[in-house]
Amino acid sequence: MAASIDVVEFQLGEEHYALDIQIAREIVEMMPITPLPRAPQYLAGIINLRGEITNIIDLRNLLGLPESDGVEGRKIVVLMPDAAGGSNIGIIVDDVHSVIQVRDEDIERINEGITSSISGYVKGIIKIGCEDDEKVKALIIWLDVQKVINDLGNYQNTQ
């Protein structure tokens, strides 16, 4: 039996992304976010989530993606504190679809030669609908959200 990985599939704009299920603590409906003065653009603000102050990151802004037209249906994926350097962090996504189980052979690893600024944050491309040489139905970009968050912390510590 082939090895498989569980990931959370979510959407930003028209594109589908995934993150490791182990780093997702919970998914909550969008709620009012309190902006912080002089915060970086990618930091949407903070929320009070059951008594815990949680930093909210606009993943779309952080990845350099265009703004979304609507905010209807947006969600916040709250990360495990261990995955976020001990901090309470949530990321804004347009929608969360499901948890999917991905076989190792359905993952295309990213070539190290890619020079895009996002390439270091992509673990691979997940091909959905590949059963027995069937045509690929969808591509999902598997993000290394933990690396994105850790690099933010490292960047801020050098400022």
Q: How would DSSP label each residue in 6-33?
A: EEEEEEETTEEEEEEGGGEEEEEE----
**How many structural domains does the chain have?**
1
CA distances to 8, 51, 129 from 145, rounded to whole Å, are 11, 24, 24
**Which domain CATH number covers 150?**
2.40.50.180
The predicted-structure confidence for 36-95, as pLDDT tens digits, reads as follows 999 999 999 999 999 999 999 999 988 888 887 766 789 999 999 988 888 899 999 999
Host domain of residue 19:
4-157
Task: Provide the pLDDT for residue 131.
Answer: 60
Of 106, 108, 95, the C-alpha closest to 131 is 106
Average pLDDT, the chain: 86
Of 3, 24, 40, the C-alpha closest to 143 is 24
The CA-to-CA distance between both ends of the chain, in Å, stands at 48
Q: Do residues 123 and 144 touch, judged by C-beta distance below 8 A?
A: yes
State mean pLDDT over 22-44: 95
Band of the pLDDT at 159, cuts 50, 70, 90?
very low
